[in-house]
Amino acid sequence: MQHFTPADPTPRRLGFAMLPEWAAHAATWMSWPADNELWFGHLETVRAEYAELVRTILRFEPVELLVRDQESEDDARRRLGHQPELRLHRVPLDDVWIRDNGPIFVRSETGKLALTNWKFNSWGGKFEWRNDDRVPEYVAAALHMGHWDIPRVLEGGAIEVNGEGAALVTRSCLLTPTRNPGLSEQGYAELLSEYLGLDKLLWLDGGLENDHTDGHIDTITRFTDAQTIVTSTESDPRDPNHAAMSRNLRALRELQGGEHRPFRIVELPLPAARLEGAEGRLPPTYANFYIGNGFVVVPQYGDANDARALDILTPLFPGREVIGLGSRAIIEGGGSFHCMTQQQPEGEVWSGERGDS
């Protein structure tokens, strides 16, 4: 296994690129919830919802589950049992949001799989992060996989790709000075071109009120295929999310007259009820779904719009079972299913040999 620095040839120069989430998976990586204080006393109900998420994913593909200590391992095994497609890894962890602290995988044109290891600083230093920042190195070692160590902050939830070179991002997240001070939109375009193989960044302004990620794209706007974008909307003009989501919708519609093939834009309502948590308003959203091998899991909140969201999303994923699962306790931590998962695409593990990519 070899690792590379920015002085070495970049993934793009070796023919690697990030794949869309709907590409076939070898496994899903996850991290077991462990800290009752981080969950504001809701850990038991969070673990119950989380276990149902893991069991659902295991119906379709293997799960690689990180557990931070003996108590977490015992609890996970008690709730999940010993399943052949489930593998547990004892790893020091701060939190569960592996979408953001985990690796971002890239695959070559010849089908070799590697990963990129970005810096993670807990969304600009909001929480403890030093253990979570080491997760990609652990995954690389466990898989004996070549990888790039990149001295820039990037969270997986901050970028949404369509597999044809385009990615959706938000200014409110990427341009915050607590991540990569001084890095401009053009700077990000060059960085993500070289390390994720992207050709074009599509910028939206911002995300949901009181989202501690500063507006991750995966909480508001997602690709469901290369040309279809589903984007969150708020119908109540008195709600602060109404103005932000309306600006994003206008920006997406303006793309229709640009240099790209026209995107199909589908509106997805936010939950109707305002949810409050220990730190103020919570950011529930149906856009934080996770796409896997033959399935899509969509968070549900016991809300009037739950069924409507499933009705909108189901026809967008032909050939996949669209499954609604409870996330009312999980959202107390500020995220949901997409934030808690990281896909490992199918591909032959690349050890890092230059002539073998």
Q: Which CATH number fits the domain that encloses residue 284?
A: 3.75.10.10
Question: SS3 for 201?
Answer: strand
Residue 205: per-residue pLDDT: 94
Active-site residue 173, yes or no?
no
Q: Say how far apart CA 155 and CA 95 lie, in whole Å.
A: 14
pLDDT digits (tens, 9 = 90+) for 191-244: 999 999 999 999 999 999 999 999 999 999 999 999 999 999 999 999 999 999
Q: Say how far apart CA 188 and CA 184 lie, in whole Å.
A: 6
Residue 279: per-residue pLDDT: 87
For the chain, how many structural domains are there in total? 1
pLDDT digits (tens, 9 = 90+) for 162-185: 999 999 999 999 999 999 999 999
pLDDT at 154 > cutoff 60: yes
- Residue 205, phi then psi, degrees to nearest 5: -75, -55
pLDDT at 4 > cutoff 60: no
Q: Say how far apart CA 214 and CA 71 lie, in whole Å.
A: 32
Residue 352: per-residue pLDDT: 86
**CA 5 from centre of chain:** 24
Q: Are 338 and 323 in contact (CB under 8 A)?
A: no
- Residue 174, phi then psi, degrees to nearest 5: -65, -30
Q: What is the pTM of this model?
A: 0.96
Q: Which residue has the tokens 């981080």?
A: 38
DSSP one-letter code for 126: S
Higher pLDDT among residues 191 and 5, named by residue: 191
Q: Which domain holds residue 43?
A: 3-356
Give me the catalytic one of 76, 139, 339, 340: 339
125 pLDDT band, cuts 50/70/90, is: confident
